[in-house]
């Protein structure tokens, strides 16, 4: 949600910032803006729309100098407009600020400002914050840094901010509470950004700002302080591990298509060094020391949002089946506010691609407060969730840029299998149960390549259904979460309304919607085959159009279906990985055919750092 870039150094700040904002655009694309600063003052350009629009709005000779901040917005308070675009300024024009998050006590602060004849011009909570900083600066006569610190001690809510002050044009201040920010440490130059993608081109050295920290950055030095206590915090410099090519499209039309096609490689990466094919053993260094504690737990809760929640649902089936312990899946946004029975005998697993989702992060904090052991399944290395959990497993899918998650989902399901295998081995589950999963895990990258090879066979199907208003996705058992994920992909990027349901539940409501205009996607595998065939008949009898994704070669299915896509058959714990891929491709090709913006679907953002 909202992308932030800041730069101070010898380069032209404008160039670093615009390039960086383009890399962060997956976080929001409602409006974009830039402020640069020299001894002559602050210069701001901002506009509704994407970063490319901002780029065209900037005059050739405008925004010179080596200090600046930029923002790409996902609107919370205030509609997307030129006026509400960041950066925002205070009434004196001395301060300019970009913000990711929500200032929850903005009405109180706004009233205080109004009482002092300072009136906000925009609809945003962010303007209130920068006005408040300007007000305190006048009132307290403190330095730039001390004023920002003081203001932040009064703020309730979540923020990642970067601020400039005309009185100190050689200083950038960045601060974080609840929204990610990191510093890039170059040679006499520094970067600030919401993630490392705007930085990697210039330096691999980064410093993560932790909750409640503020960085004061000048061309030749930086320091990080704790906002509450005003004490210097020593920080470790860490290294960015991925390569620049991984965050570029690499010849594909869209990041989403690239990421779908990467899945054979990402699954190979997820299992690399973790599965020993000679003795059929699984090793996960990030949780190894915690295995006994996990096995001793009374129950397991898995919490996540969006696509990661769908992977978690599959994960719950895997863990409950293999370990025979109760496993529950919760939306993080519900779990964090519900009265739960979590205690020291609970293991809470948090699943997140970005590692920054606000609700999931809050869910971990709550679980920790209640004494639970927390385990993260995360993609983004060094992200907040990865650092907040006691132990965890990285999915190693590499950067995922397309807003609709694809390769992270299949890697998350793979990791749940690995965790299930490791824990079951330690628990003494019969090798006859576990070895078939291991055998198929090792085959998986080749099988995914086969599925992807046939990927274009989905295109005629999208042509047949591009004008329908609704889709229904039905599956049983391990394929029910796949139905949910298939429906989510379609609605996210092609804006066709789609519902995922357990196939048998269709009779309790959705069947009323079925007529000759309703395509129904059935995901059919060996488990529950006869039952789902009956459900197919029920839809067919009512004129619905049948699309089948199956691991079965049964001729009978061909007779029932208007379209059939077959994927290789594997162990049922892994089968969702193969059945999901055609559904990702269905959504992708449908969106392309309908002329939708696949990588930046309307209203969505990849990293949801607000509630
Ligand atoms: C957003 C993204 C989804 C993602 C969800 C959870 O809604 O658009 O693709 O599944 O957030 O994100 P996380 O990073 O925690 O997996």
Separation CA 439–CA 317 (nearest Å): 20
Residue 462, pLDDT > 80, answer: yes
374 CB within 6 A, ligand 1: no
Is residue 573 part of the annotated active site? The answer reads no
Mutate-to-test residue for ligand 1 from 405, 406, 490, 597, highest number of ligand atoms within 8 A of CB? 405
- pLDDT score, position 512: 87
Q: Residue 303: CA atoms inside 13 Å, Cβ hemisphere, count?
A: 32
Is residue 531 part of the annotated active site? The answer reads no
Tokens of 603: 């209203």
Provide the percentage of residues in the chain whose pLDDT is more than 70: 100
Tell how far the Cα of 49 is from the centroid of ligand 1, in angstroms: 22
Tell how far the Cα of 11 is from the centroid of ligand 1, in angstroms: 34
378 CB within 6 A, ligand 1: no
pTM reported for the whole predicted model? 0.88
Tell how far the Cα of 365 is from the centroid of ligand 1, in angstroms: 19
Separation CA 575–CA 570 (nearest Å): 6
357 CB within 6 A, ligand 1: yes
- pLDDT score, position 396: 95
Residue 288, pLDDT > 80, answer: yes
**pLDDT, averaged across the chain:** 94
303 CB within 6 A, ligand 1: no
405 CB within 6 A, ligand 1: yes
Tokens 């020593």 — which residue? 234
- Stated as kind and residue range, the H or E segment containing 281 is strand 281-282
Q: Which pLDDT band holds residue 219 (cuts at 50, 70, 90)?
A: very high
- pLDDT score, position 59: 84
C-alpha distances out from residue 299 to 146, 305, 326, 365, Å: 47, 20, 5, 18
Looking at the DSSP bridge assignments, the partners of residue 512 are none
Residue 567, pLDDT > 80, answer: yes
- For the chain, how many residues are written? 611
412 CB within 6 A, ligand 1: no
Residue 553, pLDDT > 80, answer: no
- pLDDT score, position 603: 86
352 CB within 6 A, ligand 1: yes
Separation CA 403–CA 193 (nearest Å): 19
Tell how far the Cα of 14 is from the centroid of ligand 1, in angstroms: 30
Residue 490, pLDDT > 80, answer: yes
Write out pLDDT tens, residues 431-450. Answer: 999 999 999 999 999 999 99
- pLDDT score, position 61: 82
Residue 153, pLDDT > 90, answer: yes
Separation CA 305–CA 350 (nearest Å): 9
Write out pLDDT tens, residues 351-399. Answer: 999 999 999 999 999 999 999 999 999 999 989 999 999 999 999 999 9
Residue 609, pLDDT > 80, answer: no
- pLDDT score, position 349: 98
Of 604, 601, 51, nearest in space to 306 by CA: 604
The whole-number average pLDDT for the span 455-464 is 91
- Write the residue with the smallest CA distance to atom 15 of ligand 1: 352
DSSP E strand stretches across 110-266: 157-165, 172-177, 182-185, 190-193, 205-208, 213-218, 221-226, 231-232, 238-239
The radius of gyration computed from the CA coordinates of the chain, to the nearest angstrom, equals 25
Three-class DSSP category at 563 = strand
307 CB within 6 A, ligand 1: yes
- pLDDT score, position 277: 84
Of 524, 418, 444, nearest in space to 478 by CA: 524
Residue 611, pLDDT > 80, answer: no
Given the residues 94, 366, 545, 606, the one annotated as active site: 606
Given the residues 2, 120, 165, 391, the one annotated as active site: 2
DSSP string, 318-372: HHHHHH-S-EEEEEHHHHTTS-----TTEEEEEEESSS--HHHHHHHHHHHHTT-
C-alpha distances out from residue 441 to 59, 158, 355, 501, Å: 54, 41, 25, 27
Tell how far the Cα of 103 is from the centroid of ligand 1, in angstroms: 22
- Write the residue with the smallest CA distance to atom 4 of ligand 1: 306
């Amino acid at each position: 949600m909202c992308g932030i870039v800041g730069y101070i150094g010898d380069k032209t700040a404008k160039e670093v910032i615009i390039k960086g904002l383009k890399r962060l655009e997956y976080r929001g694309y409602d409006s974009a803006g830039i402020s640069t600063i020299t001894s002559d003052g602050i210069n701001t350009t901002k506009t509704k729309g994407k970063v490319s629009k901002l780029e065209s709005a900037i005059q050739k000779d405008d925004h010179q100098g080596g200090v600046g901040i930029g923002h790409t917005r996902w609107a919370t308070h205030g509609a997307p407009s030129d006026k509400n675009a960041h950066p925002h300024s205070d009434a004196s024009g001395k301060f300019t600020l970009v913000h990711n998050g929500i200032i929850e006590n903005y009405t109180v602060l706004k009233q205080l400002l109004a009482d002092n004849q300072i009136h906000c011009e925009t609809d945003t909570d962010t303007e209130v914050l920068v006005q408040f900083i300007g007000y305190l600066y006048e009132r307290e006569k403190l330095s730039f840094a001390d004023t920002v610190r003081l203001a932040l001690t009064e703020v309730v809510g979540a923020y990642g901010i970067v601020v400039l002050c005309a009185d100190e044009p050689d200083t950038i201040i960045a601060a974080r509470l609840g929204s990610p920010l990191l510093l890039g440490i170059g040679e006499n130059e520094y970067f600030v950004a919401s993630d490392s993608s705007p930085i990697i081109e210039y330096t691999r050295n980064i410093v993560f700002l932790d909750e409640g920290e503020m960085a004061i950055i000048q061309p030749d030095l930086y320091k990080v302080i704790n906002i509450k206590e005003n004490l210097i915090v020593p920080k470790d410099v860490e290294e960015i591990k991925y390569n620049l090519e991984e965050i570029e499209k690499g010849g594909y039309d869209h990041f989403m298509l690239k990421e779908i096609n990467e899945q054979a490689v990402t699954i190979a990466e997820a299992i690399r060094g973790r599965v020993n094919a000679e003795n059929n053993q699984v090793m996960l260094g990030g949780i190894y020391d915690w295995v006994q504690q996990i096995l001793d737990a009374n129950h397991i809760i898995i919490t996540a949002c969006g696509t990661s929640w769908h992977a978690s649902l599959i994960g719950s089936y895997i863990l409950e089946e293999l370990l025979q312990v109760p496993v529950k899946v919760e939306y993080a946004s519900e779990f964090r506010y519900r009265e739960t029975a979590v205690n020291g005998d609970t293991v809470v697993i948090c699943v997140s691609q970005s590692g920054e989702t606000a609700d999931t992060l809050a869910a971990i904090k709550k679980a920790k407060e209640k004494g639970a052991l927390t385990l993260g399944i995360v993609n983004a290395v060094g992200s907040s969730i990865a650092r907040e959990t006691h132990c965890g497993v990285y999915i190693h899918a590499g950067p995922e840029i397309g807003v609709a998650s694809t390769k992270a989902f299949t890697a998350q399901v793979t990791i749940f299998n690995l965790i299930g295998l490791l824990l079951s081995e330690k628990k003494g589950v019969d090798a006859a149960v576990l070895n078939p999963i291991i055998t198929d895990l090792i085959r998986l990258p080749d099988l995914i390549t086969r599925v992807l090879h046939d990927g274009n066979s989905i295109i005629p199907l999208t042509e047949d259904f591009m004008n329908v208003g609704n889709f229904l996705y039905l599956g049983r058992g391990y394929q029910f979460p796949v139905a949910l994920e298939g429906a989510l992909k379609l609605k996210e990027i092609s804006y066709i309304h789609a519902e995922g349901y357990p196939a048998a539940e269709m009779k309790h409501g959705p069947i009323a919607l079925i007529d000759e205009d309703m395509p129904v996607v059935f995901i059919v595998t060996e488990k529950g085959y006869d039952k789902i065939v009956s459900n197919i008949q029920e839809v067919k009898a009512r004129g619905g159009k049948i699309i089948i994704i199956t691991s079965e070669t049964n001729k009978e299915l061909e007779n029932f279906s208007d379209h059939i896509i077959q994927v290789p058959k594997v162990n049922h714990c892994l089968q969702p990985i193969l059945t999901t891929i055609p559904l990702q491709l269905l959504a992708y090709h449908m969106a392309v055919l309908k002329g939708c913006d696949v990588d930046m679907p309307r209203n969505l953002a990849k990293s949801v750092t607000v509630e």
